[in-house]
Structure 1
Amino acid sequence: AGAAALPVGLLAAYGLARLSTTFLNEVRSALFANVSQASCRELSRRSFEHVHGLDAAYLLSSKPGALNVVVARATQSLTQVLNMLLFNVLPIAVEFTLALAVMVSLAGPGCAAWAAGTIAVYVAFTAHFSNLRRDIMRRRNKAEESASSVFFDSLANCEIVKYFQSEDREATRYDTALARFEKEQVDVLHSLAKLNFGQQFIVIGGFTGILGLTASRVLAGDLPVGDVVAIHGILAQLMQPLGILGGVYRVTTQGFVDLGKLAAFLQRTSAVPLA
């Protein structure tokens, strides 16, 4: 009975641990939701007040659709950036440090150095290629803002459009803006495919080299097979946050771009002094 109770207890502990992980993640999300939404509300309110604090000449010459996209995208990016930095970047850094420490104790500093080098090359490649994609994403955002501006302006002037029977011309103008956005969006997706392939090439190549080193040490009798299995499990575990890291970098950099555009807008002052 005692021997049978041990597996049952271990299974129960495993299930409880998984349930606790899910519970703590949801509690974290619930607590962060209050903070993030309050920050988004404050940012939106300040942006709204700033719009009404500008002079009428600028407001009449600006495009309401484009301003709406800038503010909406920035408030969404604020939540994403905070979430990525607090709940992805920091835990990934801690996980990498612990994994490398375990690899040093199991296979020595050589394999750990190879793993650290693979991670460093992966991060450098991701940062470099993502910076190249930033211009493409900016063009995509500009095209999206242009299409949104055409849509909002056409609705705002619907009476004039109907009076001059310009529905077909407005539809053509909107379709032209959508075609530009379509082209830029395709370029974004193509560059993303290239980035994903490069990341997988680095990860698979680096981790295959590590397994080759450990296999040679097993053949030489310097490393037991069980340690190789453990190292393989560590590498498999590291591949998951590495995949997330690329998305984290892309979302974070895009978030800073969106927040930068809103910051530039908030720095604009009224040409006419307010009383």
Structure 2
Amino acid sequence: MPPQTPSSADRTPPPAMRETLGRFLPYLWPADRPDLKLRICGAMLMVLLGKAAVLSMPFAYKAAVDRMTIDGTTMAMAAIIAVLAYGAARLGSVLFDNLRNVVFERVGQEATRTLAENVFVQLHRLSLRFHLARRTGEVTKVIERGTKSIDVMLYFLLFNIAPTVLELIAVLVIFWINFGFGLVLATVAMVAIYIVFTRKITDWRNHLREAMNTLDGKQLARAVDSLLNYETVKYFTAEEREAKRYGDAARTYANAAVKSENSLALLNVGQSLITNLMMAGAMAYTIWGWSRGQFTVGDLVLVNTLLMQLFRPLDLLGMVYRTIRQGLVDMAAMFD
């Protein structure tokens, strides 16, 4: 099969996400590296311990507040102990997160190195026709983005998406046990609306981003090709024409970048609206239950703290989803 020319590559749709993930996953779980598999298991254990520490903080906070509403030296000491437990849980969360990074760092670096070596070997195996038909600057940019994407995707898949799903399940169980099915249903609805909204807007932004990356590659290709062939440019006194071509490419890229970055405002405002409506509704429900004697003041703190901790990774969902999609696009281009 002959290599693609630039025009045919532009017309060829990128590989499906599932196909790209299928080529990516062996770098996540290398069959010939049991030491890296052990590191991944250790990192996931740190994730579980970190989430356990995070989920214990609201309960310590609730215990402290509930005991502060009761007079007495014994209750004051119990509140102090609860506050100390809250501080210890916060410290444990930071400790386990950093231990996770230390354990996993070697995995990410080895995956990036292996992928870079495989791509480098493959490039030298390609025919002369391929190298003559492709621009050096554009190929270099594609490979650079693709190899850098794997470390980022490993981090987000293992340490953002998976822990967020675990935390969501734990929060739903806590709400079901302590506050009933109504709050569980409201939380599930909020998360579902949040995910759908984030995905729709992010997919739209990804199209803008792909166009921007294409223009970025063309801008770099024009610069590198012009500088590599400066003798020809000088011979034909084409400096002004080359400057105009580069300026047009840079201007087009800048316009695409402005449009892409401005679309981020819509995503942020929509996400904030959804999460704040949920927060206000959940706290109003808890206050209503407190007025009827069903809940305590500490329960209000518990709901508030659990939702705030759940919203923190959800606030990054758009960025995480966009980064993973962009990483798949970059790696698909490199694999292609």
TM-score by length of 1: 0.86
**Partner of residue 300, structure 2:** 228
**Partner of residue 198, structure 1:** 270
CA 6–222 in structure 1, closer or farther in 2 if over 3 Å, else same: closer
CA 207–12 in structure 1, closer or farther in 2 if over 3 Å, else same: closer
CA 216–22 in structure 1, closer or farther in 2 if over 3 Å, else same: closer
| Candidates 105, 118, 129, aligned match of 1:33 | 105
**Partner of residue 152, structure 2:** 80
SS of residue paired to 2:316: helix
SS of residue paired to 1:222: coil
**Partner of residue 272, structure 1:** none
Aligned-pair CA distance for 1:34: 1.6
CA RMSD of aligned residues (A): 2.5
1:181 is aligned to 2:256: no
SS of residue paired to 1:77: helix
What is the rounded CA distance, in whole Å, between the counterparts of 1:7 and 1:108 in structure 2? 27
| Candidates 190, 209, 231, aligned match of 2:281 | 209
What is the rounded CA distance, in whole Å, between the counterparts of 2:285 and 2:93 in structure 1? 35
Q: How many residues align?
A: 262
**Partner of residue 45, structure 1:** 117
Aligned-pair CA distance for 1:132: 1.8
Aligned-pair CA distance for 1:12: 7.3
Indicate if the aligned counterparts of 2:233 and 2:239 stay in contact, CA closer than 8 A.
yes
Write the letter of the residue equivalent to 1:141.
Answer: N
Aligned-pair CA distance for 1:27: 3.1
181-190 or 39-48: bigger deviation: 39-48
SS of residue paired to 2:200: helix
The Cα offsets for residues 107-138 of structure 1, whole Å up to 9 and x where unpaired, read as 21101210111011101111122112221111
The Cα offsets for residues 167-218 of structure 1, whole Å up to 9 and x where unpaired, read as 2222221111111111111111122111111111111122222223223333
What is the rounded CA distance, in whole Å, between the counterparts of 1:26 and 1:228 in structure 2? 31
Indicate if the aligned counterparts of 1:115 and 1:207 stay in contact, CA closer than 8 A.
no
**Partner of residue 166, structure 1:** 238
- Note the 1:1-275 alignment, pairs <5 A: 18-264=90-336
Indicate if the aligned counterparts of 1:134 and 1:254 stay in contact, CA closer than 8 A.
yes
What is the rounded CA distance, in whole Å, between the counterparts of 1:211 and 1:39 in structure 2? 45
- Tell which has more relative contact order, 1 or 2 (C-alpha 8 A, sep 6+): 1
Write the letter of the residue equivalent to 1:215.
Answer: I
Unaligned stretches of 5+ in structure 1? Answer: 265-275
TM-score by length of 2: 0.71
Identity %: 32
